[in-house]
Amino acid sequence: MNDFPKMMWVSQNTLRFAFSEEISQESFLLVQHFNRFIRKFLQHQIIETVAGYYTITVYLKGRQHVSYEKLLEQWQHYQIETMNGSHLIGRELTVPICYDEEFALDMERVMEHTKLSYEEVVSLHSGRSYAVHLVGFLPGFPYLGELDSRLHVPRLQKPRKLVDASSVGIGGRQTGIYPIDSPGGWNIIGRTPHRLFDVKNNEPTLFQTGDSVTFYAITKQEFYNMNQERV
């Protein structure tokens, strides 16, 4: 049975639950599981929740009484009820990326740092499935883990003033995609023709915490074709 996360009041209307402090697939699953639990059991008391790498932050509708003991008991029941794990399956998305030099502004820096060839960088980056650990920093920005350790490259010393929307970056142990034009310090290695953030959609963001994502490489021609279809 999983441990109960530590609970603290961040402010009078905000509760924070924390599992052990780490970035891992285990803590990702645990956080997703607990997030579903808390959204269900406090559904009438909460505005919204934000799941992080090891934390779940719960924004309450004003000051609420929340009993730690009662939650603990319910969480144990919930875990037994949901033991088969089917509840943990999020959406599986496949996302095209063009790694062409037109978009891959930092590919040379990445190749130099990793001593990998262009083809190796592309195949390592697109060759595995990533979990959306967290969405934030910018509207719809997905923090994706875990990046193959051979692709761990430090962030730019001086962040770019402007990274174009839909640019794909790697930084440290993570990879992500910029949803809107913004400053940014990650190494840019490609671009997706997809739009990640559109306020006119019912679901304004392409990615949601808990999704799993696989990338596949496309040519520049395919990129522009898809880009046109999108409009």
Partner 1 sequence: MKPLLKVTRQGVHASVQDYGRFGYRAQGIPVSGVMDRYSYELGNQILNNEANAACLEIFVGGFEFEALSNHTYVLTGAVGDYYLNGEVLESWKSFRVKKGDILSLKSAVEGSILYLIPRGGLNVELVLKSRSSYPLANIGESINVGSILYGSEVEPLPNMRGLMGDYRPKFDTVVQVRVYKGPHFELFTNESVERFLTHSFQYIGGNRMGYYFKGEGLLLQEKKEIISEATQFGTIQVPSSGEPIVLMADAQTVGGYPIIGTVHEDDLSKLTQLRTFGSVMFHLMEEGD
* Nearest-approach distance from CB 23 to partner 1, in angstroms: 6
Q: How far is the CB of 224 from partner 1 (least distance, A)?
A: 24
CA–CA distances in Å: residue 20 to residues 6, 17, 78, 108: 9, 10, 20, 37
Identify the residue among 26, 70, 94, 136 touching partner 1 (CB under 8 A).
Answer: 136
Give the count of beta carbons closer than 10 Å to the beta carbon of residue 16.
Answer: 17
CA distance 88 to 180: 29
CA dist 215 and 166 (Å) reads 13
What is the smallest separation between the CB atom of 216 and partner 1, expressed in angstroms?
A: 24
Among 64, 74, 79, 208, binds partner 1 (CB under 8 A): 208
Site string for partner 1, 37-66 (x = CB under 8 A): ----------xxxxxxxxx-x-x-------
Per CB under 8 A, does 23 bind partner 1? yes
CB 89 within 8 A of CB 210: no
**Residues 144-183 within binding reach of partner 1 (CB under 8 A):** 179-180, 182
Residue 10 makes contact with partner 1 by CB under 8 A: yes
